[in-house]
C-alpha cells in the first residue's frame, strides 16, 4: 500500500475540474527529480474526483491518488490538513508540494508544524549550491531572493504559480494508475460559509490595451491626478494600482492588479512608483511590454520591465507629458479626451 | 475576553541597501530605522477595536526579537494594548518561523487566550508561516488572509472573510479559541496616543529569554541573499530627466502606443 513516493503534489478538484495549477507543480517536481529526487505522485482532493483523477493519470502519466468525500466539496484548512497529514504518514515523502495560493499558503505551514516537517513558502527557484539543494524565494518585497535549505526529513513547499512551466511530453506517456480513497474528516471547529465574488467589475482593466499602474511611490492622494493625466496621453488606457493604493481608497478595489486583484495582459503596462512585490507581479506578468519608473534602482519591478527609468514619478510625469505632446496622434487624443471627460 | 497579538520588528524595506558580492551573493544593510511590521499594525488595531467595542477585553502584545524589538511592544501599547511580552533572543538574526511559532505557542499554551491575532506575513522574510504554525502547535482552529471578522455575541465564535485569488472572499465560521492572521485593509491602524505612549514608557514588559523556553530546532535555514534575475530586457534609460522622458516618448511612438 505505502508505495514509495518521494514527491507528493497536492491539488484539489472542484466541479470535476482539477486546479490547473497542478501543471506548475508537475514542472516543479520534474525540476526536483532533475536534482536527484525520486518518484512523483499526485494527490487530488475533492468531493467527486474519480473522472478527473483518471483523466489526469492518463494525460501526464503520473500516479494519482484521488481522495474524496462530501466534506471536501469546499476548502477548509482543517479538512485539508487532516487528510494530507494521514497521506503523508503513509507515504513518508521528502517533499510535499502545493501551489502558493491563498489556500495552499494557509494549510501548508500548519501541516508542516503538525507533522514536524520543514516548510518553505512562495518558492520560485531551485539551484544546487555546494552539493546542496537550495530553494529561492522573495524576501524584502522582492528586492532580493533568499536562498534556503532544509535539513528536515520532509519539507512542505508552496510553489509560486506561473514560474515553473510544464512542457507537455512529445509522446503521450503510458497512463499511470489511480488509487481511490474515501476521506474521513474531522472538521468540528470550522464551517464553510460560501464564497463572495469580487465586489467590482474588473473587465475595464482586464480588457484595456494600456494600463497606467500606480504604487506607493505616488506618496500622496493629491498626486493621483498626475496618474490620471498620464493615462489620458494614451488612447484607451485605464488606471490601475497596487494593493496599498486600493487599501487607502485612492482607487477602487476593482482597479487592483495582483494576486488578490485582477490579472492583466495589456500591450503596455506602465508601472509608476510600484516596488514590484511578487503579489503584484503575479497579476501583470503577461503584459506584452513593461515600462517601470521608480526612484529605487533596486526596485524588483525593474526586473520585470523592458524599460527601466530611475526617476521620481511626481517630477517625471509632467516631463513625459511634455515629451509626448508633439508625438500624440491628434485623432486619438480627441477620442481620449472625449472618453475621459 | 483575552487577546494575544503577535508583532514583529522589521527594518524599513525601502531603506534596505543591497550590495552585490563577488560570489554572486548579496549583502543587505538596513539603513533606515526599524519599525513595526506593517501587516501587524492591522492586528493590533483589530484587538484595540474589539477592546473598545466590548466589555472586559484584555490585550496582550508579544514579540520575538533582540533587545531593540521592545520598541514595537511600546508602540502597540501606545496604540492601546495592555501588556507587552518580549521573548528575547540573543542574536539579531531573524529566527526561522518554526522557532518563533514554537516559542509563541509555548508562551500562549497556559494563558487561556480566546483569540490570537497576527499579520498575514512580515515585510522582511515574507514567510506568513508563524500564524498557521502556532495555531497547529496550539491545536487551535485558524484562518489566514482575514479581511473581515465579526464575533458572535456570546462570544463563542467568529465569522470571517478571507481573501482568495482575484479579490473573491471565502466565508468561514470558526469557533473560539482561534487564531486569525489579518490582511491589510481590514481596518485603519491608528497612531499611538501620547497618553498611552507615556504609559508604555513607564510600564515594565514581561521579558522571557528564548533560551529558557523548550529547545526547538530550526529545520530550514537561510544561507544568504541573491539579486533577482531579470525577467525581461530591463534596459535602463540614462541621461537627464528631460532626456529620459524624450527617449520614453520615442519608444512609445516607435511601438505605436501613443
Q: What confidence score (pLDDT) does residue B156 get?
A: 94
Selected residues 68-97 of chain B with any CB under 8 Å from a CB in chain A: 97
Q: Do A113 and B101 touch (CB under 8 A)?
A: yes
| Cα radius of gyration rounded to whole Å, chain B | 22
> How far apart (Å, rounded) are the C-alpha atoms in residues A197 and B43?
25
Cis bond upstream, residue B87 (ω within 30) = no
- Enumerate the residues of chain A whose CB falls inside 8 A of the CB of residue B159: 193
Q: Do A111 and B136 touch (CB under 8 A)?
A: yes
Q: Do A309 and B237 touch (CB under 8 A)?
A: yes
SS3 A234: coil
Strand partners, A145: A138, B226
Selected residues 124-163 of chain B with any CB under 8 Å from a CB in chain A: 124-129, 131-137, 141-145, 159, 161-163
Q: What confidence score (pLDDT) does residue B69 get?
A: 96
Q: How many CB atoms lie within 10 A of CB B92?
A: 11
**Would you put residue A232 in left (φ > 0), alpha (ψ -120 to 50) or beta?**
alpha
- Enumerate the residues of chain A whose CB falls inside 8 A of the CB of residue B98: 112-113, 118-119
Surface-to-core class of residue A295, CB atoms within 10 Å of its CB (0-12 exposed, 13-18 middle, 19+ buried): middle
pLDDT in tens, A74-127: 999 999 999 999 999 999 999 999 999 999 999 999 999 999 999 999 999 999
Mean pLDDT (chain B) is 95
Residue A225's H or E segment, with its range, is helix A224-231
Report the percent of chain B where pLDDT is more than 70.
100
Q: Do A139 and B128 touch (CB under 8 A)?
A: no
Q: Which of A193, A196, A268 sits opposite B257 (nearest CB)?
A: A268
Q: What confidence score (pLDDT) does residue A130 get?
A: 81
The Cα-based distances of A28 to A137, A302, B115 in angstroms read 14, 25, 37
> How far apart (Å, rounded) are the C-alpha atoms in residues A10 and A80?
10
- Enumerate the residues of chain B whose CB falls inside 8 A of the CB of residue A253: 167
Q: What confidence score (pLDDT) does residue A166 get?
A: 94
The Cα-based distances of A40 to A9, A43, A128, A143, A162 in angstroms read 7, 10, 20, 33, 20
- Enumerate the residues of chain B whose CB falls inside 8 A of the CB of residue A119: 97-98, 129, 133, 219-220
CB A300 within 8 A of CB A274: no
Q: What confidence score (pLDDT) does residue A93 get?
A: 97
Q: What is the mean pLDDT of residues B142-166?
A: 95
> How far apart (Å, rounded) are the C-alpha atoms in residues A317 and B244?
11
Q: Do A190 and B175 touch (CB under 8 A)?
A: yes
The full DSSP string for chain B is: -EEEEEE-EEE-GGGEEEEE-TTSEEEEEE-S-EEE-HHHHHHHHHHHHHHHHSSS-EEEEEEEESGGGHHHHHHHHHHT-SEEEEEE-SSSS---HHHHHHHHHHHHHTTT-SEEEEES--TTT----HHHHHHHHTT--EEEEEEEEEE-SSSSEEEEEEE-GGG-EEEEEEESSEEEEEPTTSS-PPPPPHHHHHHHHHSPPEEEEGGGS------EEEEEEEPPPPSS--EEP-S-HHHHHHHHHHHHHHTT--
The Cα-based distances of A158 to A26, A45, A209, A230 in angstroms read 13, 16, 32, 38
Selected residues 18-47 of chain B with any CB under 8 Å from a CB in chain A: 18, 25-26, 28
Q: What is the mean pLDDT of residues B186-194?
A: 96
Q: Which residue ranges in chain A fall short of pLDDT 70?
A: 1-3, 329-341
- B245 in contact with A, Cβ within 8 Å: yes
Q: Which of A195, A253, A307 sits opposite B170 (nearest CB)?
A: A195
Q: What confidence score (pLDDT) does residue B37 get?
A: 97
CA dihedral (A236, A288, A138, B235) in degrees, to 10, reads -100
Q: What is the mean pLDDT of residues B178-188?
A: 96
- Enumerate the residues of chain A whose CB falls inside 8 A of the CB of residue B97: 109, 119
Q: What confidence score (pLDDT) does residue B258 get?
A: 86
The total number of residues shown for chain A amounts to: 341
pLDDT in tens, B125-136: 999 999 999 999
The Cα-based distances of B177 to A110, B115, B145, B149, B155 in angstroms read 16, 6, 18, 14, 10
SS3 A212: strand
> How far apart (Å, rounded) are the C-alpha atoms in residues B143 and B190?
24
Q: Which of A119, A194, A329 sits opposite B129 (nearest CB)?
A: A119
pLDDT in tens, B5-56: 999 999 988 888 899 888 889 999 888 789 999 999 999 999 999 999 999 9
Q: What confidence score (pLDDT) does residue A341 get?
A: 40
* Stated pTM of the model: 0.91
> How far apart (Å, rounded) are the C-alpha atoms in residues B14 and B87?
27
> How far apart (Å, rounded) are the C-alpha atoms in residues B237 and B257?
18
Amino acid at each position: 500500500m505505502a508505495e514509495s513516493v518521494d514527491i507528493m503534489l497536492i491539488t484539489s478538484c472542484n466541479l470535476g475540474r482539477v486546479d490547473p495549477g497542478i501543471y506548475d507543480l508537475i514542472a516543479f517536481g520534474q525540476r526536483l527529480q532533475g536534482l536527484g529526487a525520486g518518484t512523483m505522485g499526485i494527490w487530488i482532493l475533492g468531493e467527486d474526483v474519480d473522472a478527473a483523477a483518471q483523466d489526469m493519470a492518463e494525460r501526464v502519466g503520473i500516479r494519482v491518488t484521488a481522495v474524496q468525500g462530501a466534506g471536501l466539496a469546499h476548502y477548509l484548512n482543517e479538512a485539508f490538513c487532516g487528510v494530507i497529514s494521514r497521506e503523508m504518514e503513509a507515504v513518508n515523502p521528502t517533499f510535499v508540494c502545493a501551489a502558493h495560493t491563498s489556500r495552499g499558503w494557509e494549510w501548508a505551514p500548519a501541516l508542516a508544524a503538525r507533522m514536524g516537517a520543514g516548510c518553505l513558502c512562495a518558492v520560485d527557484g531551485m539551484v544546487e549550491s555546494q552539493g546542496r539543494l537550495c530553494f529561492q524565494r522573495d524576501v524584502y518585497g522582492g528586492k532580493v531572493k533568499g536562498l534556503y535549505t532544509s535539513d528536515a526529513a520532509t519539507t512542505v513547499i508552496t510553489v509560486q504559480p506561473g514560474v515553473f512551466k510544464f512542457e507537455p511530453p512529445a509522446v503521450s506517456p503510458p497512463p499511470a494508475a489511480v488509487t481511490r480513497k474515501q476521506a474521513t474528516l474531522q472538521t468540528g471547529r470550522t464551517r464553510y460559509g460560501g464564497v463572495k465574488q469580487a465586489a467590482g467589475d474588473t473587465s475595464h482593466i482586464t480588457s484595456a490595451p494600456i494600463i497606467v499602474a500606480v504604487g506607493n511611490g505616488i506618496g500622496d492622494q493629491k498626486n493621483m491626478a498626475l496618474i490620471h493625466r498620464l493615462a489620458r496621453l494614451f488612447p484607451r488606457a485605464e488606471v490601475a494600482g497596487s494593493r496599498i493604493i486600493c487599501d487607502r481608497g485612492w482607487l477602487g478595489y476593482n482597479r487592483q492588479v495582483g494576486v488578490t486583484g485582477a490579472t492583466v495582459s495589456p500591450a503596455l503596462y506602465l508601472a509608476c512608483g510600484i516596488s514590484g512585490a511578487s503579489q503584484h507581479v503575479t497579476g501583470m506578468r503577461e503584459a506584452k511590454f513593461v515600462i517601470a519608473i521608480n526612484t529605487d534602482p533596486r526596485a524588483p519591478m525593474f526586473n520585470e520591465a523592458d524599460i527601466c527609468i530611475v526617476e521620481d514619478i511626481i517630477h517625471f510625469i509632467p516631463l513625459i507629458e511634455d515629451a509626448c505632446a508633439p508625438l500624440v496622434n491628434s485623432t486619438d487624443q480627441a477620442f481620449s479626451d472625449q472618453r475621459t471627460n | 475576553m483575552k487577546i494575544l497579538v503577535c508583532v514583529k520588528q522589521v527594518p524599513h524595506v525601502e531603506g534596505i541597501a543591497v550590495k552585490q558580492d563577488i560570489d554572486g551573493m548579496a549583502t543587505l544593510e538596513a539603513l533606515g530605522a526599524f519599525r513595526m511590521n506593517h501587516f501587524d499594525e492591522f492586528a493590533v488595531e483589530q484587538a484595540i477595536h474589539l477592546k473598545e467595542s466590548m466589555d472586559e477585553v484584555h490585550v496582550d502584545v508579544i514579540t520575538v526579537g533582540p533587545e531593540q524589538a521592545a520598541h514595537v511592544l511600546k508602540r502597540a501599547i501606545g496604540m492601546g494594548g495592555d501588556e507587552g511580552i518580549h521573548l528575547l533572543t540573543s542574536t539579531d538574526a531573524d529566527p526561522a518561523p518554526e522557532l518563533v511559532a514554537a516559542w509563541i505557542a509555548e508562551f500562549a499554551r497556559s494563558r487561556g487566550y480566546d483569540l490570537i491575532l497576527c499579520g498575514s506575513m512580515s515585510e522582511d522574510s515574507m514567510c506568513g508561516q508563524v500564524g498557521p504554525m502556532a495555531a497547529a502547535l496550539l491545536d487551535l482552529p485558524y484562518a489566514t488572509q482575514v479581511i473581515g471578522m465579526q464575533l458572535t455575541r456570546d462570544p463563542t465564535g467568529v465569522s470571517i472573510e478571507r481573501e482568495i485569488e482575484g479579490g473573491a472572499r471565502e466565508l468561514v465560521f470558526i469557533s473560539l479559541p482561534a487564531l486569525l492572521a489579518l490582511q491589510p485593509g481590514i481596518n485603519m491602524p491608528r497612531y499611538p496616543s501620547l497618553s498611552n505612549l507615556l504609559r508604555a514608557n513607564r510600564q515594565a514588559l514581561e521579558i522571557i529569554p528564548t533560551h529558557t523556553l523548550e529547545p526547538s530546532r530550526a529545520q530550514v535555514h537561510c544561507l544568504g541573499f541573491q539579486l533577482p534575475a531579470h525577467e525581461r530586457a530591463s534596459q535602463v534609460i540614462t541621461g537627464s530627466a528631460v532626456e529620459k522622458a524624450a527617449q520614453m516618448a520615442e519608444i512609445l511612438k516607435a511601438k505605436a502606443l501613443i
